[in-house]
Structure 1
């Protein structure tokens, strides 16, 4: 396996959902920090490095440097802190020693890693096993970036970036309506596409289908409601757009690995 050597010394992990503004416009950290964006976007400046970060991108800030940032669209992101990072031993891979904007090519793999991080967000503070799993996922993020950066970019046959605004609109509509009824057919008609065209182009751009993104958003809301409220499973199912608590329970166990009641008792603080 190609991993940074030695592995990063994991410190902490927090997930922020739909953050409308940063409490501090700038901050300085004693450890390395990684902002891995799940949705929304923010503008940043670290030393001479500046730009914007959105889905499939992350920002790496070394210890002691001033991190300036401003939310552009309500942003959901994973905030990971760690020590002891060294450049990976990969020909052509960038040295992970300076402020860096990371762009991930394999969006499906990134999506899966971030999905797994959701499951251990509360566990990192509750158990060594949770921290160990979060550390593994952090290493996987850095490994993916290092490997992809060492490989030549191959243009996908027939790839056309002219539809980017349309796909961003599709993603925004899915995020806004994820917990309400919006069929793929309705969304495709709004955008002037067929359902097959929308699914193919959306998956090529974001690495997952529209329905997979919708399900991810719904399950994340279900996780939040389980740990932050005392709502019944039936009410949570209703809030998340599912037809019944029974259906949500079955889907939740399949996707998350535990029943809603087990998840609530394990991660509720």
Structure 2
């Protein structure tokens, strides 16, 4: 095991959960929740937030992990151990509790491989080695992002009004949405909405909406035989040509290349 990397204890993939079995849990090891689809709110100590695709929530041992599903949630739950002495080095990272990982393509590949390992292999040393590899890559992304990004003030994510805006965008991402209409719906000007949303989530509403749509496109490319035009319609875009432009910009590859590389 390379120095500083976590050792996986147990991995479980949950598909479209509407409710956590336990609204509060206390783990004897470290645990991370890596979200593929949907949203959930959490509180760890004084830290509150809302997590979605691209977010990884890390909880240390012996600390109450409160959580509540907001929209049907698909996620990876990974319990792990850290090398002796390593937690002290990770305090700046873990103080954030939630880390947003922008490497969508790399995340999608890791998540797909974790699911594949779960579906095709029983609990075995080979299975654990595969999952250990994917956890190590996730951890490297987490560490890199924590070092490069300033710590987020958890008070910002207590803006429940903006959380409602985010939930609205999640629930209507498959429709045609204009930011000015969203702003009007919530009694704000577009400038007010963009400023307040960016303070809470680190991106503007359009970037947030695009990330939801691209994530949905990734999922549909992997689990269906649908044409790009059909997928575009399910993701809030007028046609496959426009989706292809947005997808390539976000993922670095075309939709067809993504489907060919990551489908199994």
CA distance in structure 1 between the aligned counterparts of 2:67 and 2:153, rounded to whole angstroms: 33
CA distance in structure 2 between the aligned counterparts of 1:162 and 1:219, rounded to whole angstroms: 23
Deviation at 1:260, TM superposition (A): 1.6
Deviation at 1:44, TM superposition (A): 7.8
Distance change >3 Å, CA 194–CA 43, structure 1 → 2: closer
Mapping of residues 142-153 of structure 1, within 5 Å? 142=143
Quote the residue 2:97 is aligned against.
Answer: 103
Quote the residue 2:177 is aligned against.
Answer: 182
In the superposition, the TM-score normalised over structure 2's length comes to 0.69
CA distance in structure 2 between the aligned counterparts of 1:138 and 1:190, rounded to whole angstroms: 39
Distance change >3 Å, CA 80–CA 73, structure 1 → 2: closer
Q: Secondary structure at the match of 1:196?
A: helix
CA contact (8 A) 1:175 1:214 kept: yes
Unaligned runs of 5+ in 2: 118-128
Deviation at 1:43, TM superposition (A): 6.0
Quote the residue 1:209 is aligned against.
Answer: 204
CA contact (8 A) 2:110 2:138 kept: no
> How many residues align structurally?
246
Q: Secondary structure at the match of 1:54?
A: strand
Cα RMSD of the aligned pairs, angstroms, is 4.5
CA distance in structure 2 between the aligned counterparts of 1:34 and 1:259, rounded to whole angstroms: 31
Aligned counterpart in structure 1 of residue 248 of structure 2, from 237, 253, 256 = 253
Deviation at 1:248, TM superposition (A): 1.5
In the superposition, the TM-score normalised over structure 1's length comes to 0.68
Deviation at 1:93, TM superposition (A): 2.6
CA contact (8 A) 1:179 1:241 kept: yes
Deviation at 1:80, TM superposition (A): 5.0
Distance change >3 Å, CA 220–CA 21, structure 1 → 2: same
Distance change >3 Å, CA 189–CA 226, structure 1 → 2: same
CA distance in structure 1 between the aligned counterparts of 2:217 and 2:93, rounded to whole angstroms: 39
